[in-house]
Structure formats: C-alpha cells, structure tokens
Amino acid sequence: MARAYMTETGDGSAEGERTGSRFRRQLDRWRNDRGIWRRGLVLAGLSVLIALVMLVHGRIPNSIGNLGSLSETFLPWLGVFLPVLLGLALWRRSASALVALLLPVIVWFNVFGGLLTDKQGSGGNLVVATHNVNAQNPDPNGTARQVASSGAQVLALEEIPSDEVDTYKRALADLYPYHSVQGTVGLWSKYPLSDSRPVDINMGWTRAMRSTVKTPTGDIAVYVAHMPSVRVKLNAGFTANQRDNSAYLLGEAISAEPNKKVVLLGDLNGTMNDRSLNNVTAQMRSTQGAAGSGFGFSWPASFPMARIDQIMVKGIEPKSSWTLPKTESDHLPIAARLQV
C-alpha cells in the first residue's frame, strides 16, 4: 500500500513538474519574442474602436442613415467581440492586443455590468404586463389567456387587428372586468378605468392611448403605446424618422400629464440607449434597468436581441421586472411588479 501511494505521489509530482515546465517554456517564449509588441496592431486597433463606440456613441451622427440610433440599439452586443479578440490576441502572441483589449472590457462592464446583477426585490402592490400580440397571431385567444396567467392586474396589448378586438375582449372578460381599446392598442384592468382616450402620435390612426387606473392605493395614469416600426435598408440605413417623431409627441403627452404617478406600457421599437427616445426616456425609469435581472431582451421572440418592449414608470417604485414565456407572437411579453 505504501509503495503504491509513493508511486501515485511520484507520478503526480512528475506531472506537476511537466506542467510547470511547459508554462515556464511558454513564458520564456513570450519574454524572448521581440515581435510581441509589434504583432497584432490591427487587433489592438479594433479593441480601441469598440471602446470608442461604447464611450462616444452619442456623438455618432444620425444624419447618415440614423447610424447613431442603429449602433445604440445593439450596443450591448459589442461585448460578443471581446472573447473573440482575446482568443486572436493569444493566438497571435500579441502583448499590444492584450493590453488594448483591457479598454473595451473595462468600458463594457462599466456601461452594462449593472444589468448582469439581479436587482429584483420583494414587495410591490401592482403587477403590470404588456405584449405586442402581432397582427398575424394565429392564436389570439390562447395568447391573451397566456399573458393574463402572469397575474397582472393591469395588462396592455399592442398591434390588435380590428377584426380580432372582440376575440381579445372575450378571452380576457372573466379576469378583467374593465377595459378600453383605442385603435390597435388596448388596456385591461382589474381596477376601474376612467378618462380613457387616444393619444395623438401623428400616425394617421390610433396607436397610443392613456387611461386612469383607480388602484386601491391611488389613481395612476397608464399610457399604452406602439411606436412606428423601424427598418434597416441598404440604400437608406436605419429608417426611423416616423418612430422618432411619434416618440417626441408621446414624450410631450407624458410631460403634460397632471397625474404624478405614470406608467408607460408598450412596444417603443427602440431601446433605452436610443437617443431618439430621449423625450420619453429622460423623464421615466425603466423597470428592467431599475429592478430587473439581465438585459431582458424581448425581440425577436425566437432569438431575443433587443429590449424594444418597455415598462417605464414615473413617481412609482419598480420592485421587479421579468420577461414572460413565448406566445405565438414575434415579441416576448414582459411584466413588472410596482409599488404604488
């Protein structure tokens, strides 16, 4: 037994020595490599470029195909390139590339690191949810019931086709005694609604509304909005002018709202980083940023890449925020628990 033990220990020590020897040889190889700082300058330049985009994205002009807004929409995804650059820097044995890579890593974690932590808390007395149900949804009844099963007391739906309004009303009637549908957006509530009316966002038809929800702890103004779609076209870039104009008008309506407690539910077709939504985002808090866990991407449902569906609040404390399971829509529904 002792002999076997000594043999095993000896083999382990020999293996450790071989591993240490390989590491020392590799270290000596890097130390004696005179080209270690000259190689990988292109990789170093890419690292600096990524860091600059994250640092000064607000200065990227929108005058050329709304390039600024496009970069801000997918800004978190720049982090995907960092491990790739790390692998290439190690493969090229480039000290300059490795040192330069520290810059975008630090910037990315400074900008987005807070979203990786779980900020969800307990408490809250109102659960709200919103969902772009998709006009081509093959199962509106099932979609409505699935989102309602989240337990939301206030539920907003967007992109409701006119010929399916009654379907959604019937599907939600048992759970929500109060509702208002304005154009293609609607609000369902377990609490009484009043002063429900369209909000003009210059679309030619109604895609935004507001209503007063009389909760047990006080009245709140709830806005439901579906901003115009944006497109990425080779000949025109990021076409978002109509979305931007509508977002400005929505922000003006919210700013003029007399009720100090406001909730915005809807598909804004833009992220919180997009400068073109500043007239809205500057005066409200994102529930995902304040009380979520992770990025909370909501679109497209098959492989979420951006959070363009939003729950935002003013004068109300968000306690938690989360995405709901996939429905037959191309968006994921989202929900939040609030303290009114």
Q: Is 151 helix (H, G, I), strand (E, B) or coil?
A: coil
Query: Which residues touch 21 (CB under 8 Å, ≥6 apart)?
Result: none
Residues 154 and 193: beta-carbon distance below 8 Å: no
Q: Which residue has the higher pLDDT, 18 or 5?
A: 18
Residues 213 and 277 in one domain: yes
What pLDDT, on a 0 to 100 scale, did the predictor assign at position 252? Answer: 98
Residues 133 and 81 in one domain: no
Q: Is residue 201 part of a domain?
A: yes
For 32-87, the pLDDT digits (tens) are: 666 788 889 999 999 999 999 999 998 888 777 778 888 888 999 999 999 999 99
Q: Is residue 5 part of a domain?
A: no
Residues 186 and 88 in one domain: no
Of 80, 98, 116, the residue that ends a domain is 116
For 321-334, the pLDDT digits (tens) are: 999 999 999 999 99
Q: Is residue 15 part of a domain?
A: no
What pLDDT, on a 0 to 100 scale, did the predictor assign at position 3? Answer: 47
Residues 331 and 205 in one domain: yes
Q: Which residue has the higher pLDDT, 268 or 25?
A: 268
Split into its structural domains, the chain has a count of 2
Residues 196 and 79 in one domain: no
Residues 102 and 166 in one domain: no
CA-to-CA separations, 13 to 1, 2, 4, 24, 319, in angstroms, rounded: 18, 16, 14, 16, 54
The domain in which residue 37 lies consists of: 33-116
Of 116, 137, 166, the residue that ends a domain is 116
What pLDDT, on a 0 to 100 scale, did the predictor assign at position 241? Answer: 83
Q: Is residue 2 part of a domain?
A: no
Q: Is residue 8 part of a domain?
A: no
Residues 213 and 268 in one domain: yes
Residues 68 and 191 in one domain: no
Residues 286 and 328 in one domain: yes
Residues 268 and 308: beta-carbon distance below 8 Å: yes
Q: What is the average pLDDT across 105-134? A: 94
Question: Rounded distance, CA 250 to CA 277, Å?
Answer: 10
Residue 208 main-chain phi, psi, to 5 deg: -150, 150
Strands 126-132, 231-233: pairing kind:
unpaired
E strand or H helix at 237: strand 237-239
CATH number at residue 172: 3.60.10.10
Q: Is residue 284 part of a domain?
A: yes
Residues 315 and 261 in one domain: yes
Judged against a pLDDT cut of 80, whether residue 144 lies above it is answered with: yes
Residues 163 and 241 in one domain: yes
Residues 227 and 162 in one domain: yes
